[in-house]
């Protein structure tokens, strides 16, 4: 039995090497992007439901983007706070803002995808750039950076949606490292030619891609997934590219309590079960090998079975994972999370396991 576990541990380390160095390495070790700015008309789409405090801060930042031809489509999804009032003020203040009001609809109540569909149809431009109501771009060149990646073939652009840093907060580092790891995964697989998700905090695509898949119709009943389920369905190796210049990032305010963050992650994980079979398998295999990498060496070391080799493999695995993630963290400006890499990874592995168990017995709550 110990020999079997030892052989299994070797296989686990090999699989982890393939993920971190080969698959994720496609992004981690990629060269810096050099693109020619474009002047294609862009529609920035923001959907909000009861986000008065956020839109008050962030819509003016969007309106001040340094780009020659863009509109902002603000979608109020039947808010019960002052969101709609603020949107109406912004519509009068800025000539390039268009307001879409969504009334309560029994068939689509609380479904963000219905509201987004109305906003996409109302947009005047073919190229669409999405962010959330609680997000803001890191620079005035956000639109320019994201739109520069569009070509005749590349009609979907996956961007990076970061979270604000909270000084002295270890929990904040956990959130940001998890966001980094997620980005490394979907950026890496996109570079390989197997794109499987994106984040609505920073995502762009041509409107024709939306209509090719009949919008969100195939997963309209699933409350989440307006970003990742759509990309999982619409993206291919030919039509998808990534953008990771620092001027293209967006920032969101992170959760400050574990319970709120745990609830958020439950929603994300519950959506992933609707991905294509290959994507579900590769994500499950990555998590399984992460978990086994923790469990197997503990058993082997307790019985002192080939302990020198086991310790060497542990060191080798942490070395290549640290290097790969370190290069990625440099690109995405998350280097400070890497100092705690082994500890944060351990927390995330068992949090993920907890989420899987919790979601098995109860359904998470989705759009507000």
CB 96 within 8 A of CB 59: no
The pLDDT of residue 109:
52
Q: What is the pTM for the complete model shown?
A: 0.93
In tens, the pLDDT along 128-176 reads: 999 999 999 999 999 999 999 999 999 999 999 999 999 999 999 999 9
Cα–Cα distance between 328 and 317 in angstroms, integer?
17
3-state secondary structure 33-67: CCCCCCCCCEEEEEEECCCHHHHHHHHHHHHCCCC
Average pLDDT over residues 342-351: 95
SS3 of residue 75 by DSSP: strand
CB 292 within 8 A of CB 19: no
N residues, the chain:
368
> Residue 184: which pLDDT band, with cuts at 50, 70 and 90?
very high
What percentage of the chain carries pLDDT values higher than 90? 85
The pLDDT of residue 367:
46
State yes or no: pLDDT of 34 exceeds 90.
no
> Residue 359: which pLDDT band, with cuts at 50, 70 and 90?
confident
């Amino acid at each position: 039995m110990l020999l079997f576990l030892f052989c299994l541990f070797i296989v686990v380390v090999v699989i982890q090497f393939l993920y971190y160095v080969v698959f994720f390495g496609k992004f981690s070790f990629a060269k810096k992007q050099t693109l020619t700015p474009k002047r294609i008309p862009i529609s920035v789409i923001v959907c909000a439901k009861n986000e008065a405090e956020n839109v008050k801060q962030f819509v003016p930042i969007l309106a001040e983007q340094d780009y020659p031809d863009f509109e902002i489509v603000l979608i109020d999804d039947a808010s019960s706070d002052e969101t709609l009032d603020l949107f109406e003020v912004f519509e009068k203040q800025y000539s390039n803002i268009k307001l879409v009001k969504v009334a309560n609809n029994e068939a689509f109540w609380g479904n963000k995808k219905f509201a987004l569909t109305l906003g996409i149809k109302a947009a005047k431009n073919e190229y669409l750039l999405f962010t959330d109501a609680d997000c803001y771009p890191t620079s005035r060149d956000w639109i320019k950076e994201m739109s520069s990646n569009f070509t005749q073939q590349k009609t979907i652009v996956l961007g990076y949606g970061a979270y604000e840093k909270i000084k002295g907060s270890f929990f904040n580092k956990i959130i940001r490292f998890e966001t980094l790891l997620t980005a490394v995964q979907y950026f890496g697989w996109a570079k390989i030619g197997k794109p499987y998700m994106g984040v609505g905090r920073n995502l762009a695509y041509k409107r024709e891609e939306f209509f090719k898949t009949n919008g969100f119709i195939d997963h309209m009943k699933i409350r989440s997934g307006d970003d990742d389920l759509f990309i999982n369905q619409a993206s291919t190796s030919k039509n998808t590219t990534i953008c990771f210049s620092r001027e293209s990032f967006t920032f969101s305010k992170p959760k400050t309590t574990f319970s709120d963050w745990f609830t958020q992650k439950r929603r994300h994980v519950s959506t992933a079960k609707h991905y294509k079979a290959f994507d579900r398998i590769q994500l499950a295999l990555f998590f399984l090998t992460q978990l086994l990498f923790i469990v197997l060496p503990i058993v082997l070391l307790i019985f002192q079975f080939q302990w020198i080799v086991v310790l060497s493999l542990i060191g080798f695995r942490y070395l290549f994972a640290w290097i790969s993630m370190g290069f990625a963290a440099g690109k995405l400006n998350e280097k400070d999370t890497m100092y705690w890499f082994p500890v944060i990874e351990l927390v995330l592995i068992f949090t993920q396991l907890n989420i899987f168990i919790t979601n098995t017995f109860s359904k998470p709550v989705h759009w507000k």
